[in-house]
Amino acid sequence: MSKISYKDAGVDIDAGNKFVENIKPFVKSTKTEGVIGGIGSFAGAFELPKGYAEPVLLAATDGVGTKLKLAIESGIHDSVGIDLVAMCVNDLICNFGTPSFFLDYYATAKLDTDVAISVVKGIAAGCVEAQCALIGGETAEMPGMYKNDDYDLAGFAVGVAEKSEMDRVSLVQEGDMLIALPSSGLHSNGFSLARKVLFDTMKLDFEYDLNGISLINTLLTPTKIYVKTFKALKDKIIALAHITGGGIIENLPRVLPDHLMAEVKKESIRTLPIFDLIASHVQEDEMYKAFNMGIGMVLVVREKECSSILKQIPQAYVIGRIKAGSKSCVLV
């Protein structure tokens, strides 16, 4: 009677070990001052940074959603790792946390080392941009859970904040200004709707030309990471909101007290061509709920700081202000 191996069941331990060896240079490229040890241990270690009076650990976790379907179908895997990092670290900075380290979880039916290496290379690139270290991760082969070339990603970012700086909501005042930091595209939200409109309804293909860029490259443009901008402007920012699922309508009120509202001038929002294309088949109010509409982050700042911030970050622009009213975001 022949014996059955783990490989016969669909899990190749040798391929997994080879994968770990191949990603070590990318992981090493993210190393920062606080990293203790290296990849291969049972847990990643990171020394708490000094200089905080009351350090608080912050943690954020997220995925990339159905944007992964497009990466899998197109064979373009080197950017979704950046998305994974961005979705986590962009949340951390909204609580005034500085990202320290990152971990990833990669699950697939059968490990394709070339694909997995490409994904981790993107994760490492995202960590470098976010100035945090990739100190560990997990790769799981689960042939009974996933099929064919499918894989899924989850990310986990940990950072540190000064306890006294975390409560941003109480600092927001009537008359404060709203400054938009542009998105690079859809980022990692609304792809189920985007895919349905673009490919099921409009019957477009990946090579459809959108202002000189193929549709697939437009859609897979990685989420912008705002960590460096946050660090540069930290002393001038009152609060900031990451514009993800729910759009500006749902995310901006998260940084407002109950007695204040955000008034946003719709005509001031600089939408991108991809949103205009999708909007041809989606109602406007649904667009603003599902997508960022060209805004990746909104800063709440004192009016006196506006000109200085706009000069420092030329791509930023004013979209509205804080007014008295029930906690909400109103487009006018």
pLDDT tens string 230-279? 999 999 999 999 999 899 999 999 999 999 999 999 999 999 999 999 99
Tokens of 32: 């920062």
pLDDT band at 10 (very low <50, low <70, confident <90, very high): low
Residue count of the chain: 332
Which of 165, 187, 211 represents a domain boundary (last residue)? 165
pTM of the model as a whole: 0.94
> What are 36-88's pLDDT values in tens digits?
877 777 888 889 889 999 999 999 999 999 999 999 999 999 999 999 999 99
Q: Is residue 174 domain-shared with residue 313, that is, in the same domain?
A: yes
Q: How many CA atoms lie within 13 A of 175 on its CB side?
A: 4
Q: Are 188 and 67 in contact (CB under 8 A)?
A: yes
Q: Are 12 and 111 in contact (CB under 8 A)?
A: yes
Q: Is residue 242 domain-shared with residue 324, that is, in the same domain?
A: yes
Of 19, 26, 217, the closest CA to residue 115 belongs to: 19
Q: Does any domain span residue 5?
A: no
Q: What percent of the chain has pLDDT over 70?
A: 97
Tokens of 276: 């205009």
d(CA 297, CA 252) in angstroms, rounded, equals: 9
Range of 281's domain?
169-331
Q: Does any domain span residue 3?
A: no
pLDDT at 1: 65
Q: Is residue 121 domain-shared with residue 224, that is, in the same domain?
A: no
Q: Is residue 115 domain-shared with residue 252, that is, in the same domain?
A: no
Q: Is residue 151 domain-shared with residue 103, that is, in the same domain?
A: yes
Q: Is residue 183 domain-shared with residue 143, that is, in the same domain?
A: no
Contacts of 260 (CB under 8 A, 6+ apart): 172, 173, 174, 322, 323, 324, 325, 327
Of 109, 113, 105, the closest CA to residue 141 belongs to: 109
Q: Is residue 183 domain-shared with residue 224, that is, in the same domain?
A: yes
d(CA 84, CA 63) in angstroms, rounded, equals: 6
Q: What is the 3-state secondary structure (H, E, C) of the chain?
A: CCCCCCCCCCCCHHHHHHHHHHHHHHHHCCCCCCEECCCCCCCCEECCCCCCCCEEEEEEEECCCCHHHHHHHHCCCCCHHHHHHHHHHHHHHHCCCEEEEEEEEEEECCCCHHHHHHHHHHHHHHHHHHCCEEEEEEEEECCCCCCCCCEEEEEEEEEEEEHHHCCCHHHCCCCCEEEEEECCCCCCCCHHHHHHHHHHHCCCCCCCEECCEEHHHHHCCCCCCCHHHHHHHHHHCCEEEECCCCHHHHHHHHHCCCCEEEEECHHHCCCCHHHHHHHCCCCHHHHHHHCCCCEEEEEEECHHHHHHHHHHCCCCEEEEEEEECCCCEEEC
Which of 165, 200, 217 represents a domain boundary (last residue)? 165
Which of 165, 187, 221 represents a domain boundary (last residue)? 165
Range of weakest confidence among 38-52, 126-140, 240-254, 297-311: 38-52
Q: Does any domain span residue 113?
A: yes
pLDDT at 23: 81
Q: What is the mean pLDDT of the chain?
A: 93
Q: Does any domain span residue 6?
A: no
CATH number at residue 67: 3.30.1330.10
CATH number at residue 307: 3.90.650.10
* CB neighbourhood size of 14 (10 A): 9
Q: Is residue 152 domain-shared with residue 223, that is, in the same domain?
A: no
Q: Does any domain span residue 285?
A: yes
Find how far residue 145's CA is from the centre of its chain: 26
Q: Is residue 326 domain-shared with residue 184, that is, in the same domain?
A: yes
Angle at 161 between CA 64 and CA 63, to 5 degrees: 5
Residue for token pair 């990746």: 296
Please compute the mean of the pLDDT values over residues 218-230 and round it to a whole number: 98
d(CA 271, CA 123) in angstroms, rounded, equals: 27
Q: Does any domain span residue 1?
A: no
Q: Does any domain span residue 148?
A: yes
Q: Does any domain span residue 274?
A: yes
Domain count, the chain: 2
pLDDT band at 18 (very low <50, low <70, confident <90, very high): confident
Q: Is residue 150 domain-shared with residue 232, that is, in the same domain?
A: no
Q: Is residue 49 domain-shared with residue 174, that is, in the same domain?
A: no
Q: Is residue 90 domain-shared with residue 153, that is, in the same domain?
A: yes
